[in-house]
Structure 1
Amino acid sequence: MSWTLTWTEVLGFATGAVCVWLVARQHIANWPIGIANNVFFIVLFTQAGLYADAGLQIVFIALAAYGWWTWTHGGGPGSTDALPVRRTSRAEWFWLSSAGAVGTAALALLLDRATDSTVPFWDALTTGLSLMATYGQCRKRVESWWLWIAADVVYIPLYVSKGLLLTALLYVGFLALCVVGLRSWRRDLAAPRTAPALGAAA
């Protein structure tokens, strides 16, 4: 395993750290910064042979546009209220876990048969967990932080194995920020229903 630091990885590190910090604070600027982070990671992961993770960034960009809209409009047409933090319903858990399991299995099979990926299952698993977590983030579901924590626990050794040490370090930081975000969103959930001002530090 060799480590070659690139500007793409440095910029991915910086924008990723800022993005997660802003999500934890429910700051609307997390979405455009997150999109920039996705672009850097498309290049980085393609070069590292993590094709599912690279493709995932494209999906993230689309989800970021959706999340940006729901956070500013409360998730409803004509609404201008900020989206409140809520818990994931049983129905949401059912279809999220079902889609995640099927998607992970299908993607792992595709990566194994159609690419030169050396880690098809782990690449697919982190992709599935990340998509589930991103949906929850878009809808401000507090349990999305647990999904991110699970994904980060897998991502860290995966990136170390690929020589992406700075990115692995970033995900250690993500893991810590996820704990902060989980605690912050839980407090918001328990507090009286008052939406934070959009674009203001929470």
Structure 2
Amino acid sequence: MSLDGVLGPLRATAFTAFGAETSWMEVVGFVTGALCVWLVARQNVWNWPIGIVNNVAFFALFITAGLYADAWLQVVYVALALYGWWSWLRGGAEHTQLTVSRVTAPQWRVVLVVGVLATVALTSLLSAATDSTVPFPDAVTTVLSLLATWGQARKKLGSWWLWITADLVYIPLYAYKGLWLTSILYVGFLALCVLGLRSWRADLRARTAA
């Protein structure tokens, strides 16, 4: 069966919101995305396989919406999800379960440098090689999301701040592209990220006190 044959039913309209048609693939992305972030906040390892389903749905959705960097970002997410899955189970000391830790000052400096350089490079690439109408927002959210996913895979508390920053850009970006359900989803993501930050911080403080 061809790719169009597989994606055809998912591209069909599920309902219309705010005058824009919402596809079934966006619905799948909404449900799996919300569940994934909720599980991350609870430090449940099942967030990783559910996240992979979410990545597949969003890849198809973003390609059709012309958000090319966000689309191919989903492929990288799958690789990071496999790493994160292993890391949470065996990435701690002596191959034990990983625990929450803070991002060190040197790590933040690396994140800043990599983030700025990668955003500039990706913005230039999208402007020159694609018909993207939002090269900079597409690039900056892609870079922030990759850095946040790395931090999430290592259970770094600071990863939540990167997700929060990315979500604040994603919400108006998806609304501008007519992806209203996804935009609403990212409002939910923002709230879940705040809860996740508080939950992970409490866990870290409890273990430090112990």
**TM-score past 0.5 threshold:** yes
Tell me whether 1:12 sits opposite 2:12 in the alignment: no
Q: Which has the higher contact order (CA 8 A, sep 6+)?
A: 1
Alignment partners' CA distance in 2, 1:173 and 1:192: 29
What letter matches 2:42 in structure 1?
R
Moved over 4 A (4+): none
* Structure-2 residue corresponding to 1:148: 163
1:103 to 108, 118, 138: 118
**Paired residues of 1:85 and 1:185 also in contact (CA < 8 A):** yes
User: Could you tell me how far 1:176 is from its partner in structure 2?
Assistant: 0.3
**Paired residues of 2:92 and 2:99 also in contact (CA < 8 A):** no
Tell me whether 1:28 sits opposite 2:41 in the alignment: no
Q: Can you give the 5+ residue segments of structure 1 that lack an aligned partner in the other structure?
A: 195-202
User: Could you tell me how far 1:45 is from its partner in structure 2?
Assistant: 0.3
Higher strand share: 2
Map Cα deviations across residues 125-176 of structure 1 (whole Å, 9 max, x no partner). 0001101111110000001101000000000000000000000000000000
What percent identity do the matched residue pairs reach? 61
Q: For this pair of structures, how many residues does the alignment match? A: 192
* Structure-2 residue corresponding to 1:127: 142
Higher helix share: 2
* Structure-2 residue corresponding to 1:63: 80
* Structure-1 residue corresponding to 2:8: none
* Structure-2 residue corresponding to 1:85: 100
What letter matches 1:106 in structure 2?
A
**Paired residues of 1:17 and 1:173 also in contact (CA < 8 A):** yes
Deviates more, 1:67-76 or 1:121-130: 67-76
User: Could you tell me how far 1:70 is from its partner in structure 2?
Assistant: 0.6
Q: Can you give the 5+ residue segments of structure 2 that lack an aligned partner in the other structure?
A: 1-17
* Structure-1 residue corresponding to 2:192: 177
Structure number with larger C-alpha Rg: 2
Alignment partners' CA distance in 2, 1:109 and 1:74: 36
Alignment partners' CA distance in 1, 2:60 and 2:66: 10
- Match of 2:20, SS state, is coil
User: Could you tell me how far 1:67 is from its partner in structure 2?
Assistant: 0.5
CA RMSD after TM alignment: 1.4
What letter matches 1:123 in structure 2?
D
**Paired residues of 1:69 and 1:75 also in contact (CA < 8 A):** no
User: Could you tell me how far 1:192 is from its partner in structure 2?
Assistant: 2.2
Deviates more, 1:63-72 or 1:1-10: 1-10
- Match of 1:5, SS state, is strand
